[in-house]
């Protein structure tokens, strides 16, 4: 059986070389793209790992009562570990430290930790544990626990509030609630500029609040800030807005939680939800919300 030879003829002696160079360029291009893709994937994995390792308020467990008086459960041990990480953040995010301390205190997560200076017993109080283990004084521990929620909200709003400033509006929160305390800060920031807010200005504003001040704890901090400003300037109060029925409030809270879960976020301020509702209502390209409101108003009894 004969084997037939196939001879390849080139019109130009340079064509094989050009073809080889073209193939080489193609190989280099493919190799370069593969390398680039691998580098991008590596960078993405590194970024994901860093994000997972980065401490944050959402990684600190919420305060709950202890599971019992004995040894920590596996869940409590994990909560304790996360709180230790949060507390060690220190000055990087003082309100995270405050929340972590509050969570440790509320759940008595320190109760099985052997006292560093008295190894024959465990810690009895959060103040004792924080002072010995973390170097946080009793007064500082109490201040951080009282102020962390205010700091969290202010940070979410873009304010760089320091503990000394927030400390001045803690009494407002004690009497009128969290939103009112935030409202005082917002009022001062709007008046003098966010960069010029000081503890002294906040203190003086709090001193000016009348003893008979009436505030609706359900109002948004921006609304409360305007109310407080009107009171301080002696302006007549705006006509009262009809209060939401209790059933509606509960339904709104449930829907807000559902929204936060879908978006994988923490608590969503009512002002943010209202903004999106108003934008959707005014959207001329998508009348869905407008038509839904119109239909409900037609069915509602006339005022």
User: Is 3's pLDDT higher than 50?
Assistant: no
Lowest mean pLDDT among 75-89, 168-182, 187-201, 229-243: 229-243
pLDDT on residue 91:
47
Asked if the model's pLDDT at residue 285 lies above 70, the reply is: yes
- pLDDT digits over 187-198, tens only? 999 999 999 999
Q: How wide is the angle at C-alpha 273 spanned by C-alphas 51 and 267, nearest 5°? A: 40
pLDDT band (50, 70, 90) for residue 258: confident
Treating both helix axes as pointing N-terminal to C-terminal, what angle do 163-176 and 199-208 enclose, rounded to 10 degrees?
Answer: 20
**CB contact at 8 A, 255 and 263:** no
Average pLDDT for residues 79-101, to the nearest whole number? 81
pLDDT of residue 6: 42
Residue with tokens 């004969």: 2
Residue 163: alpha-carbon gap to chain centroid: 17
The answer to whether residues 168 and 134 touch, using CB atoms and an 8 Å cutoff, is no
Instruction: Count Cα neighbours of 11 within 13 Å in the Cβ-side half-sphere.
Output: 0
**Confidence at residue 87, expressed as pLDDT on a 0 to 100 scale:** 80
Per-residue confidence band for 160, with pLDDT thresholds at 50, 70 and 90: confident
Q: What is the DSSP string of 51-96?
A: HHHS--GGGSPPP---S-SSSPPHHHHHHHHHHHHHHTTGGG-HHH
* Range of weakest confidence among 84-88, 189-193, 204-208: 84-88
- Which among 219, 218, 214, 259 has a CA at the least distance from the CA of 237? 214
Q: To the nearest 10°, report the CA torsion of 293, 294, 297, 299.
A: -110
Strand partners, 122: 114
Name the β-bridge partners of 114: 122
Q: Pick the more confident residue, 213 or 22.
A: 213
Output the furthest CA–CA distance in the chain (Å, rounded): 114
* Confidence at residue 264, expressed as pLDDT on a 0 to 100 scale: 82
pLDDT tens profile 99-128: 999 999 999 999 999 999 999 999 999 999
How far apart, in Å, are the Cα atoms of 7 and each of 4, 10, 13, 44, 179?
10, 10, 15, 51, 88
Whether the predicted pLDDT of 93 surpasses 80: no
Give the range among 20-34, 117-131, 157-171 with minimum mean pLDDT.
Answer: 20-34
More confident residue, 151 or 36: 151
């Amino acid at each position: 059986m004969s084997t037939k030879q196939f001879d390849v003829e080139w019109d130009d002696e340079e064509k094989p070389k050009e073809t080889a160079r073209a193939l080489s360029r193609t190989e280099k291009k493919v190799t370069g793209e593969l390398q680039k893709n691998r580098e991008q994937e590596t960078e993405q994995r590194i970024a994901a790992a860093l994000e997972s390792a980065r401490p944050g308020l959402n990684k600190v467990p919420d305060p709950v009562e202890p599971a019992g008086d004995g040894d920590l459960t596996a869940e409590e041990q994990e909560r304790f570990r996360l709180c230790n990480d949060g507390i060690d953040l220190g000055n990087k995010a003082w309100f995270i430290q405050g929340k972590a301390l509050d969570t440790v205190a509320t759940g008595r997560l320190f109760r099985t930790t052997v006292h560093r200076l008295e190894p024959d017993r465990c810690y009895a109080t959060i103040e004792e544990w924080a002072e010995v283990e973390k170097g946080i004084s009793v007064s500082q521990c109490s201040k951080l626990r009282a102020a962390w929620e205010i700091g969290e909200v202010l940070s979410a709003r873009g304010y760089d509030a320091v503990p000394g400033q927030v400390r001045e509006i803690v009494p407002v929160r004690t009497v009128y609630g969290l939103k009112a305390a935030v409202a005082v800060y917002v009022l001062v920031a709007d008046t003098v500029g966010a960069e010029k807010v000081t503890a002294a200005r906040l203190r003086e504003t709090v001193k000016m609040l009348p003893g008979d001040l009436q505030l609706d704890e359900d109002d948004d901090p921006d609304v409360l800030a305007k109310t407080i400003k009107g009171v301080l300037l002696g302006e007549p109060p705006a006509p009262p807005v009809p209060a939401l029925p209790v059933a509606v409030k509960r339904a709104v809270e449930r829907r807000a939680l559902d929204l936060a879960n879908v978006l994988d976020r923490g608590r969503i301020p009512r002002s943010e939800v209202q903004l999106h509702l108003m934008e959707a209502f005014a959207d001329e390209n998508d009348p869905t919300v407008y038509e839904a409101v119109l239909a409900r108003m037609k069915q509602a009894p006339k005022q």
